Amino acid sequence: MSSTANTKIAMTDEQFAKLERIIYERSGIHFQASKKYVLESRLGRRLSELEMENFDPYITFLTIGPYRDDEFQEMFNRITINETSFFRNEPQLDVFESNVLPKLIEARSDTKRLRLWSAACSSGEEPYTLAIMLHRTLGIRLPDWHIEILGTDISEKVLHVARSGRYGQYSIRTTPEVALSRYFTEDGADHVLNPDIQSMVTFERHNLKDRLAAKRHGVWDVIFCRNVMIYFDDQMKEQVVGMFNEQLADDGWLFIGHSESLRNLNTSFQQAPYPQGFCYQKTRV
Ligand SMILES: C[S@@+](CC[C@H](N)C(=O)[O-])C[C@H]1O[C@@H](n2cnc3c(N)ncnc32)[C@H](O)[C@@H]1O
């Protein structure tokens, strides 16, 4: 065991400033100085594992180390905030299911193809919730449709949970009873998503900074990107929202978190007239 295993490793302001910059450049995540303690405690544990005495060698490791890409992955697994749940913010999801989805089903009745991207999906509760909504809305028509739902996140650790389809009590805390009994099977303390819902969603690691990788996925009808832009500054938000604009169909929909806003950003989106929806469409010229 490392000699530093139980010792708190202090981070100087200078080390914090360097790490903050490195993290920002890689991911767009902006750590305010008041959150220094978060990095200090979460990465302090990593330093102990690596048997490093302080943050300087770690910064070098991340900057010029031969395994820096792997270490970035390890670091994001530790520093990201992955809070989520099934049916999170139900009034907003009602807008999606009752107002937006019927419009899209009508608009795509010729191709019978719908593509949904849950960007920064954490452990998958959000894209699986969308799958449940599509499943119950299309009902017996579902086999006639080609539905693609992609969940992406920067952290491989949460995607691992997502792919398992197995969830504890905390993940289902906002799930209506009727959905719980219809789409999950209890297994001990866990709830396992039924295979027909699991099979509707695929997962992939994606960093929202990576515009090229986003292009590779083509055009989406719906993008959900909730509760991650709060960690970005305006410059990063504009980049991400600009990328969504390129990757959305002209009549597509963007859903953001209820405490987020595109106001004051230079974007080509206009808010749709659903107060609970926090959803946007492209500005028509
Ligand atoms: C609070 S969770 C939100 C999950 C879900 N969208 C929801 O609202 O319930 C934020 C997620 O954003 C991810 N994230 C942070 N920065 C990211 C980036 N640059 N690219 C992709 N995902 C990122 C984190 O790993 C985390 O899982």
Q: Is the CB of 209 under 6 A from ligand 1?
A: yes
Per-residue pLDDT band at 223 (split at 50, 70, 90): very high
Count how many residues are written for the chain.
285
Domain ranges, ordered by start, for the chain: 13-79, 90-282
Instruction: Please spell the DSSP secondary structure of 27-72, one letter per residue.
Output: H-B---GGGHHHHHHHHHHHHHHTT-SSHHHHHHHHHH-TTHHHHH
E strand segments, the chain: 113-119, 146-153, 166-167, 184-187, 190-193, 201-205, 220-225, 248-256, 269-271, 279-282
Which pLDDT tens digit goes with each residue over 62-106? 999 899 999 999 999 999 999 999 999 999 999 999 999 999 999
Q: Quick one: 90-282 is in which CATH superfamily? A: Vaccinia Virus protein VP39 (3.40.50.150)
Q: Is 57 exposed, middle or buried (0-12, 13-18, 19+ CB in 10 A)?
A: middle
Top-tier CATH class for 13-79? mainly alpha
Q: Is the CB of 127 under 6 A from ligand 1?
A: no
Q: Is the CB of 154 under 6 A from ligand 1?
A: yes
Is 50 exceeded by the pLDDT of residue 2? no
Q: Is the CB of 123 under 6 A from ligand 1?
A: no
Give the global pTM. 0.96
Q: Is the CB of 151 under 6 A from ligand 1?
A: no
Is 70 exceeded by the pLDDT of residue 1? no
Which pLDDT tens digit goes with each residue over 153-202? 999 999 999 999 999 999 999 999 999 999 999 999 999 999 999 999 99
Mutate to test the pocket of ligand 1, among 153, 204, 209 (most ligand atoms within 8 A of CB): 153
Which pLDDT tens digit goes with each residue over 242-260? 999 999 999 999 999 999 9
Q: Is the CB of 155 under 6 A from ligand 1?
A: yes
Provide the pLDDT for residue 284: 80
pLDDT, mean of residues 20-44: 95
Residue nearest (by alpha carbon) to ligand 1 atom 2: 82
Cα gap 80→207, rounded to integer Å: 12
Which pLDDT tens digit goes with each residue over 36-73? 999 999 999 999 999 999 999 999 999 998 999 999 99
CA of 1 to the centre of ligand 1 (A): 33
Per-residue pLDDT band at 6 (split at 50, 70, 90): low
pLDDT, mean of residues 199-228: 97
User: Of the listed 88, 115, 153, 221, which one is catalytic?
Assistant: 153
Ligand 1 atom nearest 257 alpha carbon? 8
Q: How far is CA 161 from CA 88, 155, 183, in A?
A: 17, 11, 17
Is 60 exceeded by the pLDDT of residue 4? no
Ligand 1 atom nearest 123 alpha carbon? 27
**84, 120 Cβ separation under 8 angstroms:** no
Is 60 exceeded by the pLDDT of residue 5? no
Residue nearest (by alpha carbon) to ligand 1 atom 17: 154
Residue nearest (by alpha carbon) to ligand 1 atom 3: 227
Q: Is the CB of 82 under 6 A from ligand 1?
A: yes
110-140 burial by CB neighbour count: b if 16+ within 10 A, else e?
eeeebbbbbbbbbbbbbbbbbbbbbbeebee
User: Of the listed 42, 46, 108, 166, which one is catalytic?
Assistant: 42
Q: What percent of the chain has pLDDT over 70?
A: 97
Q: Is the CB of 84 under 6 A from ligand 1?
A: yes
Residue 153 is among the residues annotated as catalytic for this protein? yes
Q: 13-79 and 90-282: same fold?
A: no
Q: How far is CA 80 from CA 212, 276, 284, in A?
A: 23, 27, 36
